[in-house]
Structure 1
Amino acid sequence: MKQSMNTHYYIYIGMSILLMLVSSCRGDEYIVFSEETDTGGEVVLSDIVGMYVLNEGNMGSNKATVDYLDLSGNHETVRYFRNIYSERNPNTVKELGDVGNDIQIYGSQLWMVINCSNKVEVAIADSCRKIAKIDIPNCRYLAFDGGYAYVSSYVGPVSISNDAPLGRIYKVDTLTFEKVDSVVVGYQPDELTILDGKIYVANSGGYRVPNYDKRVSVIDISTFTVERSIDVYPNLHRIRADKYGQLWVTSRGDYYKNPACLIWMYENNSGEMVVGDTINTAVSDMCIVGDSLYYVGVAFNYETFSNQITYGIINVRTHQAVTTQLFSAPEIAGIEMPYGIIVNPINRDFYIMDAKNYVSSGELLHFHADGTFDWRVWTGDIPAHAVFVYKKREE
């Protein structure tokens, strides 16, 4: 009997120590500590001191998380911290929630769109500590201008139906975090960008398959009304502006007759944005730096029932391909599902986010500006969106 009691005692002590290693207690809440990984990468000091990575998490799993890449030089090498949001915000239920869809920094604030949880989380950019939550149904992407955040929303529930409602763009005050207005746009609006006092919205119509939307909605910021729509191509997704005042829009296509592609739009002599060239390559994500549009693309081929993966750089001034091979073959073979790309605008080194099998940890891969592979690190599930953190300017 004595031996049995001692055994139970030691098991209890062992479990207590294990729990202390995994988490510490603050009140009634457990703090799950982030996981630190030494990438072995060399620190190159610049105005960029870090990068947040938003992991989407598989839909329905409530596993959206935020990781942080430390480029500050506080360590001898580049360090990666997995799942910092739950550590910094121990009172937040279920961490971030269901499907992280966008992450951006505006001033000193870090904004995160959590799609199926119908909310936008706002944190302090330096610490990732939560300061606000804004309820927006089926929210998708962000853009900022003049002290306001503009958030695209599918409005309706996640459901494939030809009765799916028109989407909206919500206007949010970045000081009070209150929704102050909204405007109806096309069906299932995705990315939006702001150029010369207008908001351009890429409408997908993804819930209305096969009747996809193909319009870019144009909103006048001063009146916050839709002034017109531009027919572009079915199932639009991303939309970005370059330094020449041009727009670059991606289409997922209809997966049958109309393939995924990249569309260039420009302002005509009447001052209206019109459709120009179509580049026949799938673009899942892109990043424009200077004259270069870096992209990764994944297109499903229904004839072979396989994914066709592409990478490349397009010159936005000439509209010509610079390269269709960002890096060497061995590294391409190591990437299973490229889901995102972000390029350092200072040094032109870049990062590829690999979603792997969509249900387990993904990877972040770093490449030098010439495409040379540097390092890779495990992330949360489905790494897809990232934003650089810049050094604070002295007052």
Structure 2
Amino acid sequence: MKKCCLLLIILCGMFSCQTDDLNTKDESQNPETPGEGEPDTSASVKGFYLLNEGNMSMNKASLDFMDYETGEYNRNVFSEANPNLVGGLGDVGNDLGIYGSKLYVVVNASNKVEVLQAETGERLKQIDIDNPRYLTFYKGKAYLSTYLGAIGDPSAPNGIVAEIDTTSLEITRRVEVGRQPEELLAYNDKIYVANSGGYSPPDYETTISVIDINNFTETKQIEVAKNLHRLNIDSEGDLYVTSRGDYYEIPSKLFVIDTEKEKVKKSFDIGVSDFTIHKDIAYMYSTEFSYISGDYTITYSMLDTQTETFLDKTFIAENYRKLIEMPYGIAVHPETDDVFITDAKDYVTPGNLYCFTPQGELKWSVETGDIPAHIAFKY
């Protein structure tokens, strides 16, 4: 099944995909019983939303919510909160984030960003924009990377970063970057954007665009490697960016970029599909595919971002790794240090979410929607 899904993953993976019929049932699961391992309800984190990407062209994106106060995991909360909206959340959920009292959900193939009340999940506004990808927040604004052009079109124009005012929910400014821009972040009055060029292999992009937020212009392109994707920053202001290579002879790698000098300072010969940085540790996994071998290699790693060295341990105990067929998303609870891994399985059935303790032991698991991928904590 993995090999059958592979072509879609590579060609359509630039806009995320996979799975079958829409599950309209509202389901609650109880992974945690109050008083038995549940975080203290007086803590600041009250729960988290999980965005299921869903299969492209199947209108299967969905939103789940884990409520720490009740211990319940609730599926399809967008449809429940917005029963009069025809079609549900839409086609291919690609990213989400909470800023203030609002939840922003990027729905790639539906060409929109849904802005919801974070407390209830009710829609406040739909922002229409072509082929949106990822978002970040900075000083009262949301910044959105978008491919522009038709999905999969090798002649698509350069992408843009759009600025969204988080009060008016209007797009206020736009700036052109590279082709098919992926993850982005804002730091020290600049936005860094990983360009991929994924619609026109082997002519991939190789740079990170640097945007000056004040005048909203691209001031520099940092040369890194082919087909960039994930982007994160550590406590010292160093960027960590992943390169997917070309899936043939150029392997995936991880790069560290000095934001003061704006150039690569270090690289690691390791594939990273997704990662998050928490308390100076990068938690990462790789599901690297090679056309040469025709198979995946799945690994889990931890890197100390202060020493820039890999640790000799990982965040999942060895005996639990076989539970996860296809890791597809990762997050770390900001207070308990629990590690969350989503499992897309075969991309055509509902996935799973696994919660591991800081010691790597399985704490609980639940069934999710199709292709669970992105988590945003609610405070």
TM-score of the superposed pair, with normalisation by structure 2: 0.90
1:208 and 2:203 matched: no
Structure 1 segment 67-146 matched on structure 2, within 5 A: 67-72=64-69, 75=70, 78-146=71-139
Counterpart of 1:319? 308
Structure 1 segment 129-208 matched on structure 2, within 5 A: 129-161=122-154, 163-208=155-200
Asked if the contact 2:206/2:223 (under 8 Å) is kept, the reply is: yes
Structure 1 segment 43-54 matched on structure 2, within 5 A: 43-45=38-40, 46-54=43-51
What is the CA-CA distance between 1:160 and the residue it aligns to? Answer: 4.4
Asked if the contact 1:314/1:323 (under 8 Å) is kept, the reply is: no
Asked if the contact 1:119/1:133 (under 8 Å) is kept, the reply is: yes
For 1:187, the aligned partner's letter is R
Number of matched pairs: 351
What is the CA-CA distance between 1:303 and the residue it aligns to? Answer: 2.5
For 1:229, the aligned partner's letter is Q
Query: Structure 2: how far apart are the matches of 1:68 and 1:335?
Result: 21
Query: Structure 2: how far apart are the matches of 1:168 and 1:91?
Result: 33
Query: Structure 1: how far apart are the matches of 2:91 and 2:225?
Result: 30
Counterpart of 2:350? 361
The root-mean-square deviation of aligned C-alpha atoms, in Å, is 1.2
What is the CA-CA distance between 1:159 and the residue it aligns to? Answer: 1.7
Larger radius of gyration: 1
Aligned-residue sequence identity (percent) comes to: 44
Query: Structure 2: how far apart are the matches of 1:348 and 1:326?
Result: 10
Secondary structure, counterpart of 2:143 in structure 1: strand
Structure 1 segment 1-395 matched on structure 2, within 5 A: 34-40=26-32, 42-45=37-40, 46-72=43-69, 75=70, 78-161=71-154, 163-267=155-259, 271-323=260-312, 325-390=314-379
Query: Structure 1: how far apart are the matches of 2:351 and 2:128?
Result: 28
For 1:44, the aligned partner's letter is P
Closer, same or farther: CA 360–33 of 1 in aligned 2, 3 Å:
closer
Secondary structure, counterpart of 1:206 in structure 2: coil
For 1:388, the aligned partner's letter is F
Asked if the contact 1:327/1:371 (under 8 Å) is kept, the reply is: yes
Query: Structure 2: how far apart are the matches of 1:148 and 1:329?
Result: 42
- Higher relative contact order, chain-length normalized (CA < 8 Å, sep 6+): 2
Secondary structure, counterpart of 1:207 in structure 2: coil
What is the CA-CA distance between 1:281 and the residue it aligns to? Answer: 1.4
Closer, same or farther: CA 252–316 of 1 in aligned 2, 3 Å:
same
Asked if the contact 1:33/1:87 (under 8 Å) is kept, the reply is: no
Query: Structure 1: how far apart are the matches of 2:139 and 2:32?
Result: 40
Query: Structure 2: how far apart are the matches of 1:40 and 1:105?
Result: 23
Asked if the contact 1:33/1:84 (under 8 Å) is kept, the reply is: no
Secondary structure, counterpart of 2:282 in structure 1: strand
What is the CA-CA distance between 1:37 and the residue it aligns to? Answer: 0.8
Query: Structure 1: how far apart are the matches of 2:85 and 2:286?
Result: 35
Query: Structure 2: how far apart are the matches of 1:328 and 1:303?
Result: 30
Closer, same or farther: CA 314–382 of 1 in aligned 2, 3 Å:
same
Query: Structure 2: how far apart are the matches of 1:145 and 1:93?
Result: 32
Query: Structure 2: how far apart are the matches of 1:278 and 1:160?
Result: 31
Query: Structure 2: how far apart are the matches of 1:385 and 1:321?
Result: 25
The worse-fitting range, judged by mean Cα deviation, of 319-328 and 381-390 is 319-328
Query: Structure 1: how far apart are the matches of 2:365 and 2:167?
Result: 38
TM-score of the superposed pair, with normalisation by structure 1: 0.87
Q: Could you list the runs of 5+ residues in structure 1 that have no partner in the other structure?
A: 1-31, 391-395
Query: Structure 1: how far apart are the matches of 2:84 and 2:273?
Result: 35
Query: Structure 2: how far apart are the matches of 1:202 and 1:285?
Result: 14
What is the CA-CA distance between 1:121 and the residue it aligns to? Answer: 0.2
Query: Structure 1: how far apart are the matches of 2:319 and 2:153?
Result: 39
What is the CA-CA distance between 1:355 and the residue it aligns to? Answer: 0.5
Query: Structure 2: how far apart are the matches of 1:199 and 1:324?
Result: 33
Q: Could you list the runs of 5+ residues in structure 2 that have no partner in the other structure?
A: 1-23
Query: Structure 1: how far apart are the matches of 2:250 and 2:313?
Result: 22
Runs of 4+ aligned residues of structure 1 deviating over 4 Å after TM superposition are: none
